[in-house]
Structure 1
């Protein structure tokens, strides 16, 4: 989905009114996977010109509620938004630079939805976050290793 007509149809299918801010924000999230809100705002402003922070926040909330985007927030990191929805994938986060990548479930369709004890809950989603060091950060500091360096909070990187 990368054409305005596709975004408009997705909005209609989700029962949302088609507006320029909604299509622009949806496009921004598609073009910038795992983007923080500031990145989405900047990308939206490239298309619409002046748009308020609050308008983008409101659109992101509506798109998330409608299931058109997914809000993720790894521990210690800013909230991020992605267009990959409808599957139960996970994420890997670099402890050094904060970059995030998608990770599919390790085995089968939804093995992570089978909890060892569901305590009576009907489970429909699992959130797994892997932490480590991305290839770029590993290459820039070959002397450090996860065992010898202290864990740090990821820095925002869109």
Structure 2
């Protein structure tokens, strides 16, 4: 079962010690509205909602939201960073090598972390990040010439 992230709100920002601003709320809504969005995609959504906002302001807000644990940042190989509102559940990602689509994959086995390191080198491991790579059904169909 996929955990639903808390709805974006001024209270959510306050609970995490952040001042409530129009920009922060708009960025939070954009991330909630489009999982795995890039900063540029978030900026585009925010601009359509509130008008002018600089790319740097979007990055600053995303950084603050990630730092407070409200938003999760992932950076798949050969891809810009992506942002999502689904946090604190140790889920993983499946990425299509063809079109780049990203979908969430719940933890397959056991409690978090799903994977246990053969040698933890003394670390107290509390999270495992896994990215599965493959081809989505649409890209497989296109490659097969259907």
TM-score, normalised to structure 2, is 0.91
Which position in structure 1 is the counterpart of 2:59? Answer: 57
Deviation at residue 138 of structure 1 after TM alignment: 1.2
Inter-CA distance 58–111: structure 2 relative to 1 (3 Å threshold)? closer
Which position in structure 1 is the counterpart of 2:32? Answer: 30
Tell me how far apart the structure 1 counterparts of residues 126 and 16 of structure 2 sit (CA, whole Å).
19
Tell me how far apart the structure 1 counterparts of residues 137 and 79 of structure 2 sit (CA, whole Å).
20
Residue 16 (structure 2) aligned to one of 14, 17, 24: 14
> Highest relative contact order (Cα 8 Å, sep 6+), 1 or 2?
1
Tell me how far apart the structure 2 counterparts of residues 51 and 78 of structure 1 sit (CA, whole Å).
20
Deviation at residue 134 of structure 1 after TM alignment: 0.8
Which position in structure 2 is the counterpart of 1:153? Answer: none
Which position in structure 1 is the counterpart of 2:98? Answer: 96
What is the 5 A alignment of 1:53-132?
A: 53-132=55-134
TM-score, normalised to structure 1, is 0.84
Deviation at residue 117 of structure 1 after TM alignment: 1.3
**How big is each residue's C-alpha offset from its partner over 1:52-76, in whole Å with a ceiling of 9 and x where there is no partner?**
1111000000000000000000111
Tell me how far apart the structure 2 counterparts of residues 111 and 12 of structure 1 sit (CA, whole Å).
29
Q: What is the alpha-carbon root mean square deviation over aligned residues? A: 1.2
Which position in structure 1 is the counterpart of 2:3? Answer: none
Tell me how far apart the structure 2 counterparts of residues 109 and 136 of structure 1 sit (CA, whole Å).
32
Tell me how far apart the structure 2 counterparts of residues 110 and 123 of structure 1 sit (CA, whole Å).
9
Deviation at residue 81 of structure 1 after TM alignment: 0.3
- Total equivalences in the alignment: 140
